[in-house]
Amino acid sequence: MLKNHFIKQLFNSFLDLVPILAVVFVFQVLIIKQPIPDVISLIIGTVFVVFGLALFVQGLEQSFFPLGESLAYAFARKGSAFWLLSFAFCLGFGTTVADPALIAIINETTDIVSQANIITHSSDAKMHYSLGLRFTVALSVGVAILIGVLRIIHGWSLSYLLIGGYGVVLVMTLFAPAEIIGIAYDLGGVTASTITVPLVATLGLGLATTIKGRNPMIDGFGLIAFGSLTPMIFVMAYGAIL
């Protein structure tokens, strides 16, 4: 059963890559009109990507999805809002602060900020700026998941919260330093990582399924949207303070 499921997952992963391969082929051969360089390496790389995607999805289905749901059920049955909200904050903070994609973007950002003479070129200044930005984003995601869990508990309207949040983003964009605006917007997208998204999504669905009067389709989703919204606010505030 598991073998057949993994073979099916391999096929689905390949289908997911077909549009990307088609775009590369069309532009390389028909638009640029050049042969595809190193076809063997391209084929080998595609095979590795297909296996990697299949293994990744298999791992999500066997570990992260059940883990997130079971934790949500356990905290809901425990009936302690304090521990549930503490877990939500720590989940958002912990999965973000260790995210390799976030670390890579922040390291690149720090180098560019240093070259632009926004901070000094010393290693200490770069380290402090990098850590400050990294922990600011992690803190913002922790707050976002906490607010999202409160929304599920109290049944708050998702649309009002998101509209209000993006309204704050637009207002802050008018006053934030120009050098930090693009960074803030990009870091908002980086936080939707391959680790954070599965855990956060299953946490929301588990809570909405467990709490009486909540609809998983209506109340279970929306946590990830907060996780991408709040970093923009926090990073622009961080840039303004610096």
pLDDT in tens, 26-85: 888 788 877 777 778 888 888 888 888 888 777 777 776 777 677 777 777 776 788 888
173 and 60 inside one domain? no
Given this model, what pLDDT does residue 236 score?
A: 92
31 and 99 inside one domain? no
93 and 191 inside one domain? yes
Domain residues for 137? 79-241
Residue 216 lies in a domain: yes
97 and 164 inside one domain? yes
Given this model, what pLDDT does residue 142 score?
A: 92
* pTM (predicted TM-score): 0.77
Question: Encoding tokens for residue 95?
Answer: 């999965």
149 and 223 inside one domain? yes
Below-70 pLDDT ranges, the chain: 1-3, 64, 68, 79, 115-121, 194
6 and 97 inside one domain? no
222 Rama sector, left if φ>0, alpha if ψ -120 to 50, beta otherwise:
left
62 Rama sector, left if φ>0, alpha if ψ -120 to 50, beta otherwise:
alpha
* Residues sharing a CB contact under 8 Å with residue 200, sequence separation 6 or more, in sequence order: 68, 91, 92, 95, 145, 148, 223, 224, 227
Q: Give the CA distances from residue 26 to residues 5, 17, 29, 37, 208, in Å, rounded to whole numbers and listed in that order.
A: 32, 14, 6, 14, 45
58 and 112 inside one domain? no
Given this model, what pLDDT does residue 119 score?
A: 65
